Amino acid sequence: MKFFNPIISHRALPVVAIGLLLAGFIFAPTLSAQQGGTPRPTGSTIQPNGSTSRQALRGANASTYGLRHNPIRNTNRAGIIGELGGSTNTEKAVAKALLWFTRTQKEDGRWSEKQSDVAHTGLAILCYFSYGIKPDGESENAKALAKGLAWLIKQVPEDGNMRDGGRMYGQAIGTLALGEAAGITHREDYFQPLERAVKFLCKAQNPRSGGWRYQPHPSLQHAGDLSVTGWVIMALRSAEMAGVQVPQKNLKSARAYLNTVATGAHKGLYGYTQATPKLSMTSVGMYCQQLFGSKPGEARQIDSAKFLALHLPVERQKNYYYWYYGCLSMFLHGGDGGVGEAHWKQWNAKMVPLFLKKQQSNGTWKAEGRRANREGTTITTAWATLSLTVYYRYLPITHGYTRLNTGPQGQSIIPNPNGQ
């Protein structure tokens, strides 16, 4: 899927993103069962397999790598969005984008434009989840999300290989979207395809280098690249925090792979397949380290942030992929103050007006630059949407939003039952 090739000198989610998404992720375990699926039962011990094991893995109130989803994602944020870093204008921009996604969804539930319908659909799903929409809601957006998920789970065969575009990007992004869905809803019909997809990803890893590339190992002899590997790390971390048991050997090897494409005094700069610094790859590497538990005060992370701060978002870059991953990593680096606060504020101050200026009247962002023909409108709009929802997707990595008082005596936060 060439439209993700990031070899440019100025990149990736999941959602995460997915974002994760993307998408780094531990999900609030208090959500009720969703219609159309069986919720996971509560368990207190980790078993070798099964739903009790998954509940125990995700039941702890802190992840193994420091990220948690922000509970205010599912609330009325109007009174606090400014403090989070957004504005009423960013909220309106996201709402317009989601409406466009809903109106352009195919009848069977997918989104389709370029090479991989799984990747397109997975990114759209991550956008809905990122904004706090859930598939059991009554809004048109919620119904579109449910329809998209219904299509996505049908794309996962028994062997877990959902590479409709033939490359690993679709597999990783689709898995990340399923990880979000399973972790948020606890539905069995999302867990089963997620587990199959995770198993395929683990088998596809190069056992020597720890990386992933376009094709699964050993169909091609390769060490991997940071672009694909970044998406896979997001997907595996999402699945793990949803309660799926991901082999630690795969995660340890993936983290070791990051060092093979890292350079600089503290290994905080990253390249695509070699240790030659690239802007987009440094944002990916920085985010992956955050998913593995690196804190803002670590020298490696400080070096990454300084490098990105030298290349803040400007129109001439024309690189939404870089802006997306830079947004995730810089927010987690300094979104709640501390050593990285200045860098995050600098990034956000450049990113927001740029995105608001570039949004089209129909809610989309136009693909541009060297990646335009490979990404198209759907992918580009997903990058921008996921960036503008970063404020309430995650609790920053150190200790969360201690500035915000969301209790009874503080700012009033009213749940939105329709997921709008």
Tens of pLDDT, residues 113-167: 988 999 999 999 999 999 989 999 999 999 999 999 999 999 999 999 999 976 8
Give the mean pLDDT of 395-408.
Answer: 33
pLDDT over 50 (residue 44): no
Predicted confidence band at 90 (pLDDT cuts at 50, 70, 90)? Answer: very high
Sign, CA torsion 402/64/123/354: positive
- What does the mean pLDDT of the chain come to? 80
Phi, psi of 222 (to 5 degrees): -160, 155
Lowest mean pLDDT among 55-64, 210-219, 319-328, 347-356: 55-64
pLDDT band (50, 70, 90) for residue 210: very high
133/121 Cα distance (integer angstroms): 15
Residue 296 DSSP SS3: coil
Residue 373 near residue 321 (C-beta atoms within 8 A): no
- pLDDT attached to residue 269: 98
Looking at per-residue pLDDT, the higher value among 14 and 303 belongs to 303
Q: How many beta carbons lie within 10 A of that of residue 117, not counting itself? A: 22
Q: Which neighbouring-strand residues pair with 75?
A: 415
* pLDDT over 90 (residue 288): yes
Q: At what angle do helices 279-291 and 248-260 cross, to 10 degrees?
A: 150
pTM comes to 0.81
Q: Rounded to an integer, what distance in angstroms lies between the CA atom of residue 74 and that of residue 52?
A: 26
Cα 313 from Cα 318, distance rounded (Å) = 9
Which of 96-100, 376-380, 410-414 has the lowest average pLDDT? 410-414
Place 326 in a pLDDT band, splitting at 50, 70 and 90. Answer: very high
Whether pLDDT at 247 is above 80: yes
* Domains of the chain with CATH codes: 11-28+47-395 (1.50.10.20)
- Pick 53 or 374 by higher pLDDT: 374
Q: Is the pLDDT of residue 11 over 70?
A: no
What's the rounded Cα separation, in Å, for the pair 205 and 249?
11
SS3 205: coil
